[in-house]
Structure formats: structure tokens, C-alpha cells
Structure 1
Amino acid sequence: MFTDPPAPEPLKPGEGPPAKATGPLDGQPRAWEFNPDYQKLVVAWQTVVPLLEQLRTSLDKAYQLGKSPQTWDAPVGERYVEDIREWRSRLALYRHAVLTAISDQAVDTPRWIPSSVGAPHAFP
């Protein structure tokens, strides 16, 4: 079984932008905003996890019912249980792939970006 990769961290109440700019603009006042692309990754994670849990729960319930001798009294029942076992395995792989993709993208996406509000522009 796989463990879930780290989830993207949503904006916490009272959390502020980085204290200091790095690079050629060190020491310059700068306005920051929470990265909307990062926020989309947070929302994607929060949307997908409950759906994957619902699928897992449904397959687990069907698997437990299928294994019960009260459900099947014929050899054909074992084939259905094997199919459900395979679906559960595929779902675990799919969950790991989807959550890893979101997590990897979140690692590569900055949480804070410089805001363009109030920035000087060459042409008004």
C-alpha cells in the first residue's frame, strides 16, 4: 500500500509573505500575493482526496461482501472477489499517481509571488 505524498499547504490565517526579497532587488520594498496557481493545487488536492476515499470505501465494502460465505456459495464468487481485488489495487496506484502529480507540482510552484499592484510600469 502506498502512503500519500505531502499535500500542498493552504494559506494559514495570519500567514504572511516572505520577510525579505532575494536576488537583485534585495532591500527594495515589495508587495507579495499568495500564488493563485498554488491555490489551485490546494483546491485540486482537497477536491480529489474525498472522491478517491469514496471510491476506496465503496470497493472495500463490495470486497468484504464478496468474501462473505453468505454472499457467494458457488466457485464463481471467487472470480468476482479477484476482480474487485484488482480494482482496489488499480485504484491505489491511480490515487498514488494523481496525488504525487499534484504534490510534485506544488513543490515546484512558489507559494508567494511578487504582486504587480503598485509596481511602476514603463507605459501607463
Structure 2
Amino acid sequence: MYADPPAPQPRQPGENPPSTGSANPLDGQPRAWEFNPEYQRLVTAWQTALPLLESLTTALDKAYQLARSPQTWDAPVGGRYVQDLAEWRSRLAMYRQAVLTSISDEAADTPRWVPSATGAPHAFS
């Protein structure tokens, strides 16, 4: 069994954007920030995928436990069925790891805050 990678964290109540560090408006630093919609998309993807993966894992584990029971099978085909279910459990665990890792890696590379276009002066707009 694999451990899940760190989940992207949604915006917390009271969380503030990064400070600019300078009060001079001409230093090239953005004055307005917004929570990155791409980062929020990754948070939503994680929150959508995790329950689905959990339900698949739970259903497959239940079938595996029932198949291993001596009351379920009394033929050699039962052993093959249990081996097939074990293989599917392994594949699902690797798939879960791949999906969650890709979301986590992309979230690690995506900034939480981006400069906002609203309120910023634009020439010829």
C-alpha cells in the first residue's frame, strides 16, 4: 500500500496574499493579488478524485475478502479468481498513486497567488 502524496490545500479563511515588501508603486511589484484559479482547479480535482478512488478501493477490497473466504469457493477456479482480484487491487493502488501524485506535483509547481488584472493601470485600455 502506498501513502498518498500531499494534497493541494484550499484557500483558508483569513489567508492573505503575499506582501509586496515595498510601498513604492513604481517598483514593478503587483499591487493586487488573487487566489490562482489554476491552483483552485487542482484542489477541486483532488477533492473529486479522492472519494472516487476510495470507493473503488473499498469495493474491490470487499470483493477480494469475500473471494478469499472458504465458504465462497470450493473449486480451483476460486484460486485463479482470487489471484485476478489481487492483481486488480495492485493495479488500482498504482493508478491511485499515479493520479494523486500528478495532481500533487502540479500543485507544487503552481503558485497559490497570482497578480490580479483588476485595479491595475493599463495603457490604452
> Counterpart in 1 of 2:67?
66
In 1, Cα distance between the equivalents of 2:122 and 2:79?
A: 70
> Counterpart in 2 of 1:107?
108
> Counterpart in 2 of 1:120?
121
In 1, Cα distance between the equivalents of 2:65 and 2:30?
A: 61
> Counterpart in 1 of 2:46?
45
Cα distance, 1:20 vs. partner? 2.3
Q: Is residue 21–residue 27 contact of structure 1 (8 Å, CA) maintained in 2?
A: no
Over the matched positions of the two proteins, sequence identity in percent amounts to 73
Q: Is residue 20–residue 27 contact of structure 1 (8 Å, CA) maintained in 2?
A: no
- Unaligned runs of 5+ residues in structure 1 are none
Cα displacement string for residues 19-52 of structure 1 (whole angstroms, at most 9, x for unaligned residues): 2269xx7585611100000000000000000000
Please give the residue correspondences for 1:25-44 in structure 2 after superposition, counting only pairs within 5 Å.
30-44=31-45
Q: Which amino acid aligns with 1:6?
A: P
> Counterpart in 2 of 1:7?
7
- Unaligned runs of 5+ residues in structure 2 are none
In 2, Cα distance between the equivalents of 1:28 and 1:61?
A: 55
Cα RMSD (Å) = 1.7
- When the two structures are superposed, what TM-score results if normalisation uses the length of structure 1? 0.93
Matching of residue 76 in structure 1 with residue 77 in structure 2: yes
Matching of residue 92 in structure 1 with residue 93 in structure 2: yes
Q: Is residue 4–residue 99 contact of structure 1 (8 Å, CA) maintained in 2?
A: yes
Aligned to 2:34, what secondary structure does the other structure show? strand
Structure 1 residue ranges, 4+ long, deviating more than 3 angstroms after superposition: 25-29
Q: Is residue 20–residue 26 contact of structure 1 (8 Å, CA) maintained in 2?
A: no
Q: Is residue 35–residue 111 contact of structure 1 (8 Å, CA) maintained in 2?
A: yes
Figure out how many residues of one structure are paired with residues of the other and give that number: 122
In 2, Cα distance between the equivalents of 1:26 and 1:88?
A: 56
- When the two structures are superposed, what TM-score results if normalisation uses the length of structure 2? 0.92
